[in-house]
Amino acid sequence: MSATAETVEQVHSISGEKYKYGFVTDIAADKAPKGLSEDIVRFISAKKGEPEWLLDWRLKAYRRWLEMPEPQWSKVQFPPIDYQQYHYYSAPKSDDDRPKSLDEVDPELLATYEKLGIPIKEQEVLAGVAVDYVFDSVSVATTFKKKLEEVGVIFCPISEALERCPDLVRKYLGTVVPVADNKHACLNSAVFTDGSFVYIPPGVRCPMELSTYFRINEMNTGQFERTLIVADKGSYVSYLEGCTAPMRDENQLHAAVVELVALDDAEIKYSTVQNWYPGDEDGKGGIYNFVTKRGACRGKNSKISWTQVETGSAITWKYPSCILQGDNSVGEFYSIAITNNAQQADTGTKMIHLGKNTTSRIISKGISAGKSDQTYRGLVKISPKAEGARNYTQCDSLLIGDKCGAHTVPYIESKNKNAIVEHEATTSTISEVQLFYLRQRGIPEEAAVALVVNGFCREVMQQLPMEFAVEAQKLVGISLEGSVG
């Protein structure tokens, strides 16, 4: 029986009704036909051989999604998304087509990596990094698995986790980001195809940095990754997410969801370098990056730290947040966002203080150049029970050129007198004096700007794991190419 027929039959058996839409013709490419419907959701679920509770969950999400309005409050502007023009599932054609090693990877892609300064060839050599490559939507390679298994760490694609430890996934999936949190997260819940699942058992300090490299390489394939990281009592994990995409000429939709759960005394450090295709100078063809990231510090003394370097995408809509439930829990958000040309970014964080003596720290550095627009949007909320809560927020913006915009929209809501909330923000330009000094030392203007900007971002750069910090510094320079002179 061919794969196609098998799928149809599977779908048939699950739905229990006649399959109305003939996407059969397209399945040869192992790709769902364009568009989104309940049948597509069933198709994805069947394709991945998921348990019934998950299908119900997806369908519930899909139905809610149909009713939900698009979020209108952010500053980003784009034409209405035609959700029917995307493929919601695609996998590498067959096992034979999967790259077995780096040598088999598209050289064009490698060239892009090279330019971005990602030492992909060194990736496996780089000490302590386990790479879970996601080529489109199906994970094709996982390294260092054995070593992780020895200490009991589960690090695998979420589809695999559903087979290995369904109870764990079921227990935590959707508990941090509810199905109907927002339209983009809801869409993800309905159609997510893959992503990573990490579970760190009690008392275990994950022996290496976990890393997933995403890329989008099939035309018109929206990526709907779903990441779930659970750090059990007293454990620690550092997770790296890096993204890069080759050039494409059509807007690509990306609506990922990341959920983190930290139990008593656990710590999760989540770092992101995002450098997807930002589109050409007018923003044509860039990626729409609508991400919902949220971490719950459920246990006492737990800690979640987000670090992000956002340089790519035509539109970034992303607010990694922390819900500080456990007493003495800590939330951190370190961000660098660089926009150039016609990029738009609306990013920031939410720190929800619920437990006693919870602390949070927000450091956000925004750099806008070209015709780009950037917004920091943050919420610090202190509930009446958050005795002794403490927040410190600093967000600085740097403007390069007179056609760009930088905006700061912080919300502070405090309902506890023992809480201390501090917020500081500045907006300025690169000082002529600094530039002049560097140039008279023989440093070309563009390099001088990159140097000043790197200095401006230093506080956040320091939070990045070493492997990322090097890459991120190069990114700053590349992202600002052509913004001066």
Partner 1 sequence: MTAVSFLDGGLDGGRTLPGEGLAWLKARRDAGAERFDALGLPTPKLESWKYTRLRPLDDTHYTPIGDDADATEIANLPSVGDVAARVVFVNGKLRTDLSDLASLPAGVRFGPLEDILADDPAWAEAHLGAVADDTDQAMLALNDAMMDSGFVLHVAKGVALTKPLEVVYVGGLTDQAVAYFPRNLIVIEPNAQATLVKHHVGRGVGAYFANAATEIDVADGAIFKHYKVQAENMQATHVATEHTRIGRDATYECFNLAIGGLLSRTEARITLAGEGAHCGYHGAYMMRGKEHCDNTSFIDMAVPHTTCKQVFKGVLDDEARAVFQGKILVARDAQKADGRMLNKTLLLSDNAEIDTKPELEIYADDVQCAHGATTGQLDQTALFYLRSRGIPEPQARNMLVQSFLGDALQEISDETVREVLMDRVVHWLPAHCYLAGEWKESA
Residues in the site for partner 1, rule: CB under 8 A? 73, 382, 384, 397, 399-429
Whether residue 312 contacts residue 338, with contact meaning beta carbons closer than 8 Å, is answered with: no
Minimum distance, C-beta of residue 293 to partner 1, in the bound complex (Å):
23
Measured from the CB atom, the residue of 243 and 400 that comes closer to partner 1 is 400
Record the tokens describing residue 475, joined without a space.
């990114």
Whether residue 286 contacts residue 251, with contact meaning beta carbons closer than 8 Å, is answered with: yes
State how beta strands 196-200 and 154-157 pair.
antiparallel
Measured from the CB atom, the residue of 235 and 408 that comes closer to partner 1 is 408
Identity of the amino acid at 437? Y
Minimum distance, C-beta of residue 351 to partner 1, in the bound complex (Å):
14
Measured from the CB atom, the residue of 307 and 408 that comes closer to partner 1 is 408
Q: Using only C-alpha atoms, what is the Rg of the chain?
A: 22
Q: Would you say how long the chain is, in residues?
A: 485
Minimum distance, C-beta of residue 327 to partner 1, in the bound complex (Å):
18
Minimum distance, C-beta of residue 323 to partner 1, in the bound complex (Å):
19
Measured from the CB atom, the residue of 26 and 387 that comes closer to partner 1 is 387
Measured from the CB atom, the residue of 164 and 403 that comes closer to partner 1 is 403
Minimum distance, C-beta of residue 409 to partner 1, in the bound complex (Å):
5
Minimum distance, C-beta of residue 346 to partner 1, in the bound complex (Å):
12
The 3-state DSSP composition of the chain as helix, strand, coil percent (nearest 5) reads 30, 35, 35
- Please give the Cα distance from 373 to 393 (Å, whole number): 21
Measured from the CB atom, the residue of 35 and 405 that comes closer to partner 1 is 405
- Please give the Cα distance from 77 to 141 (Å, whole number): 37
Measured from the CB atom, the residue of 223 and 408 that comes closer to partner 1 is 408
Measured from the CB atom, the residue of 223 and 347 that comes closer to partner 1 is 347
Minimum distance, C-beta of residue 143 to partner 1, in the bound complex (Å):
45
Count CB-CB contacts under 10 A for residue 274: 25
Residue with tokens 């007179």: 402
Query: What does DSSP assign to residue 103?
Result: G
Cα dihedral value 26, 27, 28, 29, nearest 10: 80
Minimum distance, C-beta of residue 416 to partner 1, in the bound complex (Å):
7
Minimum distance, C-beta of residue 376 to partner 1, in the bound complex (Å):
9
Record the tokens describing residue 428, joined without a space.
């300025």
Measured from the CB atom, the residue of 82 and 413 that comes closer to partner 1 is 413
Minimum distance, C-beta of residue 427 to partner 1, in the bound complex (Å):
4
Measured from the CB atom, the residue of 124 and 446 that comes closer to partner 1 is 446
Alpha carbon of 386 to those of 87, 289, 353, 425: distances in Å? 45, 33, 6, 25
Whether residue 112 contacts residue 105, with contact meaning beta carbons closer than 8 Å, is answered with: no
Identity of the amino acid at 450? A
| Nearest by Cα to 410 from 448, 364, 445 | 364
| Nearest by Cα to 270 from 298, 325, 299, 309 | 309
Count CB-CB contacts under 10 A for residue 440: 8
Q: ∠ CA(226), CA(463), CA(244), 5° rounding?
A: 45
Whether residue 365 contacts residue 459, with contact meaning beta carbons closer than 8 Å, is answered with: yes
